[in-house]
Structure 1
């Protein structure tokens, strides 16, 4: 084992076990059809009026779909605050909704607690000047004043009034070239919420996949020296040292819009399309964060909800009864291969799911799935991959084999498996 390889925290390992999250883009943009990020078009706060906001409905959908955590936009790039912030007039307190007495974040975290879903908050560090009615001292052109504003607002969200927040999602879009006082900002964050997981920026605990389609690469690794942080940035941000930063893959339920639109219902993904993305995210060792924009009533749209639930239930069902598990495999003395031999005849399978035990770090760099069609003769390699990491989901044409073997081709030290399963789906 390399003495220098990064080791995950218990909290990071817990995050990786969550696997599936729901992204919730909801705010002033929900009420302005056709507006886009950074377009500069005014969006007066009075228009925000979700007349039947039902965060419990959101969480019921999550529960039914097997979603473990959620991330709600508290403040997007436009600067509109989904809570009654003292530091901006551009918030729910100046909305028509509940005569300015409403608080989306309160209703959201209460619903998360009721349904046992872990709450996350999205906060855009960058925001467009000119939309929120703030003074010039709070412009991003004035770093010191803007950092104060940043800390003041984030403190309202994290100081305990909303309880424990499991993750804080920083969107890098709009922050290209801007310097924040990250030691000061993240220091305050971790004082208020010691267990919080920070996404992508400042002092990150997990990182972005680098695209918004939900895909992780076949060579996805938990240990990196640089990270992607914005769709508008051409280069990765270099880290000071190698870090354990698991990947989260965000993607949209609909084709192009993050916020609700009444014009793109026909683009809602099918159960199979979502499953295909899942196998290229969770199935490559990452978490998957799928977005649904609540509508103007404050509900998750029925068609999106139905697709998410069907997907979640189908994914759970296909792995409910494995044909073979780790206890059926015999490891060699050096833990460099694990072999399963069918007691009689052959095993038919078309999906293999492998997990590495990551407690002491990531070891596997390359591996092979080998089969022997009979109880004698030679093995042949039918699949070769790179890392195993948290999980590898390997979908195959149906194979018939008397022996199935996982063989490690390259590793950083000894390998310990958490799970290996053969399935026929």
Structure 2
């Protein structure tokens, strides 16, 4: 793939200069998974479950605008293959659902709503399709390209085309129920796909692990490196191979490269909740205002863009708590900039400049930005503060500035002038945009671990690739929850089997599957059985690991039980959530 076809180099194209004025937008996950309580559907879910009775795209778009999000990217098709528009490429689409009496087009409703409320619209169509019988075979890429053509030619202007590294695996595949692998570097023919997008939507920024306009930051925490550069050169994880979406050294996306060949700033994606789709068990697990504000400083404030995941409920509305949290976060971000001490363009002579405040002033937040149309140049700088004594002292130093750099100072300082010195640059820097603020930062909230009310954390002992536990007595079991180690050590499972027994000798398998998206988003994974089982003994078995290990690795395992609280006890090696 020739990235130079799509990216001019270290100076940003016009589409990137115009991309998202606020630096914040949303990505909407809403589909069959919303109704089946999954993160990744297998591809065999019945479209009849998709029945949002109170869906209102205008209300969602209006909320986004009011909360400071100036764009909305819709997941038009997730990995399960279900299309939210009446595509001609597959019957597995919204017309097979009861939504709008089988005549709905959710993509159109969102697109129309965004235009009405003056926010930008973007689209994501998953390349991986766990439903389509041709996936992994020669015929599917043409199907995918036709889906891309339908979306990017039929629903108005797009500000972003969003692509990820979904590159095959287990799926229904028309009833084959098997694992299918692809050549990640060639199968989708990204050169042709992106050429189509450029032709249909020349102003749309294309996002993926390899850009070409926006790069994935390499995590789903929403955070770039504090010294993140806007320039980047994608590298394949294997020597001699070409990089491709899902086939890069993703860890390099956090910082970028000071000598990167392409202007390709990071897009930092993170869900407002813990998962991307709506799950009732996460109603009390919204990110705090302080956490969201910190994410803003580590994304927009590090030269990147923040893409915040929103998840409508099965009735089609955003939860009231989600809307309230968005409004609280908008207020907190506004408070960062409500009390400016100085805002100006600072000319530089011989790589240095001084801003006089005209009076002593206190501040705790510093903003800097390069004239990015000329390319990112700065690789080192120092900021000095002049205090009442009349002399300058070093305040902070760093490497990258780029399109925007927000630096929260370790403490509030007072002075009447600042000096900025460029200590390393790829080319002379003529000026910087600079501002100092007396910011109000939200107080950090004490972290609270939430669990379903029917959750019992178990004491377990490892035996190779299994965890065994004794519940102390036979009890009703309706599911389980596994919490991975965020560091994802060797032995972390991404596929599992759960076995139950009443006597510890005769075992029956009651659940098997995958811990969806555990690599990018290692959060507690909850599995609910179709029917309540009864057992005293449990075995969690790793049937596949992210990195092979001799023992199953994780932080915690527990069951979901139908027992009343007063009977969850009693001498059994089980701990209530409140005992942590």
Moved over 4 A (4+): 227-234, 236-239
Per-residue Cα deviation, 1:142-190 (whole angstroms, up to 9, x for no partner) = 13x111101111111112x211122111111335742222222222222
Match of 1:296 in 2: 314
Match of 2:163 in 1: 170
The match for 1:337 among 339, 349, 352 is 352
Q: Alpha carbons of 1:78 and 1:311: their partners in 2 closer, same or farther (altered >3 Å)? A: same
TM-score normalised by structure 2 residue count: 0.66
CA distance in 2, matches of 1:321, 1:349: 9
Contact 2:341 2:435 in 1 (8 A): yes
Moved more, 381-390 or 225-234: 225-234
The match for 1:273 among 277, 287, 291 is 291
> Is 1:186 the counterpart of 2:180 in the alignment?
no
Per-residue Cα deviation, 1:233-273 (whole angstroms, up to 9, x for no partner) = 6735999x821111100001112x10011111111112221
CA distance in 2, matches of 1:297, 1:37: 19
Contact 2:348 2:432 in 1 (8 A): no
**Structure 1 unmatched ranges of 5 or more:** none
> Is 1:366 the counterpart of 2:380 in the alignment?
yes
The match for 2:326 among 302, 308, 318 is 308
Q: CA deviation at 1:316?
A: 2.2
Match of 2:204 in 1: 196
Moved more, 198-207 or 186-195: 198-207
Match of 1:401 in 2: 415
Contact 2:27 2:72 in 1 (8 A): yes
CA distance in 1, matches of 2:265, 2:101: 42
Contact 1:374 1:403 in 2 (8 A): no
Contact 2:210 2:248 in 1 (8 A): no
Contact 1:20 1:289 in 2 (8 A): yes
Moved more, 14-23 or 294-303: 14-23
Contact 1:16 1:286 in 2 (8 A): no
CA distance in 2, matches of 1:404, 1:70: 38
> Is 1:99 the counterpart of 2:101 in the alignment?
yes
Match of 1:206 in 2: 214
Per-residue Cα deviation, 1:59-88 (whole angstroms, up to 9, x for no partner) = 111111111111110011111101011111
Match of 2:340 in 1: 322
Match of 2:263 in 1: 244
Match of 2:140 in 1: 146
Contact 1:182 1:202 in 2 (8 A): no
Q: Alpha carbons of 1:414 and 1:165: their partners in 2 closer, same or farther (altered >3 Å)? A: same
**Superposition RMSD in Å:** 2.4
CA distance in 2, matches of 1:139, 1:351: 50
Task: Name the structure with the higher helix share.
Answer: 1
**How many equivalent residue pairs?**
404
Per-residue Cα deviation, 1:339-391 (whole angstroms, up to 9, x for no partner) = 123434x22111111111101100111111111223533x2222111110111
Contact 1:210 1:231 in 2 (8 A): no
Match of 2:227 in 1: 219
CA distance in 1, matches of 2:293, 2:399: 21
CA distance in 2, matches of 1:313, 1:50: 30
CA distance in 1, matches of 2:330, 2:431: 26
Match of 1:7 in 2: 11
TM-score normalised by structure 1 residue count: 0.89
The match for 2:401 among 358, 365, 388 is 388
Per-residue Cα deviation, 1:313-345 (whole angstroms, up to 9, x for no partner) = 321243144111125x5x4532x122123434x
Contact 1:372 1:403 in 2 (8 A): yes
Task: Name the structure with the higher strand share.
Answer: 2
Q: Alpha carbons of 1:151 and 1:111: their partners in 2 closer, same or farther (altered >3 Å)? A: same
Q: Alpha carbons of 1:184 and 1:326: their partners in 2 closer, same or farther (altered >3 Å)? A: same
Q: Alpha carbons of 1:418 and 1:82: their partners in 2 closer, same or farther (altered >3 Å)? A: farther
